[in-house]
Amino acid sequence: MIVLGIESSCDETACALVNDKREILSSVVWSQYDEHRRFGGVVPEIAARAHLEKCDILIREAMEKAGKTFKDLDAIAVAGGPGLIGGVLVGVMTAKAIALCQNLPFVAVNHLEGHALTVRLSHPVEFPYLLLLTSGGHCQVLIVRGVGQYEKLGGTIDDSAGEAFDKVAKMLDIGYPGGPNLEKRAAQGNPKAYDFPVPMRGRKGCDFSFSGLKTAVRVAIERKETLTEQDKNDMCASFQGAVVAEMKDRLSHAVTIFKEKCPEAKDIVVAGGVAANGAVRQMIEELAGKNGLVFSAPPVKLCTDNGVMIAWAGLERFRLGMTNNFDFRARPRWPLESLSNNLTEG
C-alpha cells in the first residue's frame, strides 16, 4: 500500500510517498524562509502564491525520487486544515484533481493528526498514548486512543509555545526562523540570568499560558539601555527555561490523569515543531523515566511540517476505511478532538 501525501498548510510546501511497511519512499520539502524572512513572520498571501508555484513541481519530484507513477498509488492524502486557508486550498484542490483523474481514494488529513500519528511511523508506539502536541500554532496535551480518537486534557489559553518562541526571537532581533535561532542562543546563555515567571505553575489541570512570559521578556528588554549579544543569549536561555518549566508542571498533571484513565498504557510522546527543541525533549524523557513511561518522539526532521506525516496519517486512515468525499472543504480551523470515526467523511 502506497500513499502520496501533500502538505501546504503554512510556509512549507511538502510531498512524500510512504508505504505500509513504514518505509519513506521519498520526501521533498520546499521552505519559504527566504520569502518571509524580511517580514519576520509568515505572510499568508505570499505563502499561498508560493504553494501554487511549487506544489506540482514537488509532486513530480517526489514521484520521480520514489520511482513510482500515479498507477502505483493506493490513495492521495492532503492536509485539509487547520492552517492558512490559501495554502490549504492549494493542496486540497491539487489532491482532488489527482484523485479524480487517477480514480484514487481521497483522504483529507487533519494537519494536527499528521503530527500526532507520525511517531507510529518511526517507533513501535501502540494506542493509547499521552501526547504533547506543541508547535507554532498549537500547544495541547491529549490522550491518543486511536486514529481519529483524541481526548484533550488541556491546551493553551493564549499563545502557543512556538508562537511565544518566535515572538521573543523577533523582540530580540535574532533572526527568522525564531524558534531554532532562540534555541541556539540559549545554549550560549545563562538560564538563571533572568527570573522570568512560570505561568500556570502549581495550578490545577493541564492548561498552558505563554502570553505573560512573553510580556515579561519584553519588559526586561525595555529596562536595558543597551542589549549586548550576551544579554540576548541570557534572555533566550532564561525564557526557554521558563517554557520548559511550565511544560514540566503541566505534563506532570497530565501524566497523573493519563495513568488513572489508561493504567496499562506506557507511552508518552511529543510532536510538532517545538518537539525539535532539545531542552523540551530532555525534560519529557526525564519525566517519563520518573513515572515508568517510555518516551518517544519523531525524528527531528519529521517534527516540522512535512509531507511524510500527511502521507502516514492518510495511510492510517485509509486502511481503516476513513476516506473523504470530493465535496470536502478546506478548513482554517479544525480541532483535533472533533475528528469522528465515521468510515467516510464529507
**Same domain (yes/no): 334, 278:** no
Dihedral (Cα; 141, 134, 271, 1), 10-degree rounding: 90
Instruction: For strands 139-146 and 129-134, give the pairing.
Output: antiparallel
Name the phi and psi angles at 123, rounded to 5.
-135, 155
Would you state the pLDDT for residue 58? 97
CATH code, domain carrying 261: 3.30.420.40
β-pair partners for 41: none
For residue 242, give its domain range. 127-297
Over the chain, what is the mean pLDDT?
95
Cα of first residue to Cα of last residue in the chain, in angstroms, is 23
How far is Cα 299 from Cα 296, in angstroms, rounded to an integer?
9
β-pair partners for 12: 31
Query: Does residue 122 lie within any of the structural domains?
Result: no
At 53-84, the pLDDT tens digits run 999 999 999 999 999 999 999 999 999 999 99
**CB atoms closer than 10 angstroms to residue 43:** 17
In sequence order, the 6+-apart residues with CB closer than 8 A to the CB of 58 are: 13, 14, 15, 28, 30
**Same domain (yes/no): 312, 291:** no
Number of domains the chain contains: 2
Cβ-count burial 230-246 (b if 16+ within 10 Å, e if not) = ebbbbbbbbbbbbbbbb
- Of 183, 187, 188, 141, nearest in space to 162 by CA: 183
Would you state the pLDDT for residue 132? 98
Question: Please, what are the averages of pLDDT over each run of 10 residues along the chain (346 residues)?
Answer: 97 96 97 79 88 96 98 98 96 98 98 98 97 93 97 96 94 91 98 97 96 97 95 98 98 98 98 96 98 97 96 98 97 89 44
**Same domain (yes/no): 94, 133:** no
How far is Cα 265 from Cα 254, in angstroms, rounded to an integer?
13
At 226-270, the pLDDT tens digits run 999 999 999 999 999 999 999 999 999 999 999 999 999 999 999
Full-model pTM: 0.94
**Same domain (yes/no): 306, 292:** no
User: Cell digits for 135?
Assistant: 508547535
